[in-house]
Homo-oligomer: A and B are copies of this chain.
Amino acid sequence: MTQTEQAYHHLLEAIVKGDILPGTRLREADLSRELGLGRGPLRDALHRLESRKMVNKVPHVGAQVVDFNPVEMIEIYELRERLEGMACELAAERMSDDDLAALGELLTTHRQFVEKHSGEAYIQQDTDLDFHFHIIQGAGNSWLTQLLCDELYHRVRMYRYQSAHQKARPERAMKEHTQIFEALSNRDGELAAMLMRRHIATARENLIRYIANTQ
């Protein structure tokens, strides 16, 4: 694995998890010293982060970790609504029975987790994404997968870490996931898509409410 990739993944996770705070100026000299590499590979990593919109870069000025932006966040959720709805349509047609079975097991595991650690939101984060990723993969459209997983989801994860104190609703999400899974099992793409869109629309409404409360 090349140093550029290492630096990219390291910085990406640090930004997503909030170890590097939004708005932080990223100085190439400092960072390269901290990460123990030259400025060349680091610059490559910063460019990649820029094209993923995780940092803002201004020529001759520098790079800065993106700040939380309510407008963009809502834009991203508008996109997720359509794209993951599309993923459901395609997944209902294209997922293999084995894939569906795996998704079912995932759901069972999650349900046990939710029942055991009821209310611990931070665990819900990853399990929730697992479910979504599995369906996205199942759609069998590599461009759709990249758009969602490589372009949009980093921001979604970043937002979730920032608003981690916010009460999640694992039981409700669990129920909605189960409904989506059943629709997929019945190969009813139209229904699965509708449920997924509604599922994400609910999340978007929570997001809007959260934004309104924090301002």
A1-41 vs B, Cβ < 8 Å mask (1 yes, 0 no): 01000000000000000000000000000000000000010
Nearest CB on B from A159, distance (A): 13
Count residues on chain A whose CB falls below 8 Å from chain B CBs: 28
* A147 lies within 8 A of chain B by Cβ: yes
Residues of B within 8 A of A82 (CB): 82-83, 85-86
CA–CA, A142 to B82, complex, Å? Answer: 15
Chain B CB count within 10 A is highest, among A40, A51, A144, for A51
CA–CA, A83 to B84, complex, Å? Answer: 12
* A174 lies within 8 A of chain B by Cβ: no
Within A61-103, which residues are at the interface with B (CB < 8 Å)?
Answer: 72, 75-76, 78-79, 82-83, 85-86, 90
* A43 lies within 8 A of chain B by Cβ: yes
**Which B residue sits closest to A77, measured CB to CB?**
B143
* A130 lies within 8 A of chain B by Cβ: no
**Which B residue sits closest to A147, measured CB to CB?**
B147
CA–CA, A76 to B51, complex, Å? Answer: 19
Residues on A facing B (Cβ under 8 Å): 2, 40, 43-44, 47-48, 51-53, 59, 72, 75-76, 78-79, 82-83, 85-86, 90, 141-144, 146-147, 151-152
